[in-house]
Amino acid sequence: MFLVIGLAAPLLAQTPSAKEDLSDQIITGAWGDPTKCDLTNASPIPFMDAARDGGAASGACVSVTAYWKGGAIYANAADANIAKSVVTSKLVGRRVGIYANERIFDKAPRHPTPFTVAGTYASCKTEWPGAMMVLGYCHFSDGPFLKVSQTRAARRRDVR
């Protein structure tokens, strides 16, 4: 019986209590703050710079004009239309993930549509180093993403 008790005690000590705050260990969402970063003060960067991990400083307020579909933006509609475009390894370096609040995601187009997206630049590799679980784009990728604070419809000719 002593052996059973000796094994149970360490297991109980590792079980999170109902009061334990796991918000820094289980990331369920993120978004940019429009009072700090919006389309008027964001630094525009070319899509391919944004898609390259480290293409902007982490935490920088940037805007990118690209094709938006679902949980990512893309350089062109063809990339956005690839099956499982948000998770396929074929698009590493050719997609930027998006984290946004529900109000912004409610406006997400069903088909690839040009948008200018403003937000805080980050990388899945480094943004949440102590997290046990990250939901959304970074659950499947370790690439760059934007914590979106504002979006605006754009024209195809503006995508660069």
Q: What does the pLDDT read at residue 21? A: 62
Summarize the confidence of residues 20-24 as an average pLDDT. Answer: 61
Residue 4 has pLDDT above 90, yes or no: no
- pLDDT-derived band at 11, boundaries 50, 70, 90: very low
Q: Which of 152, 96, 90 is nearest to 122 (CA)?
A: 96
Q: Which of 60, 131, 138, 130 is nearest to 96 (CA)?
A: 138
Residue 59 has pLDDT above 60, yes or no: yes
What secondary structure letter does DSSP report for 19? T
Beta bridge partners of 109: none
Domains in the chain: ranges and CATH: 22-158 (2.40.50)
Q: Of all helices (H) and strands (E), which one includes residue 134?
A: strand 133-134
Q: What does the pLDDT read at residue 141? A: 80
Query: Who contacts 87 (Cβ-Cβ below 8 Å, separation ≥6)?
Result: 140, 141
Residue 89: both structure tokens together: 């390894």
Q: What does the pLDDT read at residue 24? A: 63
- Grouping H, G, I as helix, E, B as strand and the rest as coil, residue 41 is coil
- Grouping H, G, I as helix, E, B as strand and the rest as coil, residue 140 is coil
Residue 13 has pLDDT above 60, yes or no: no
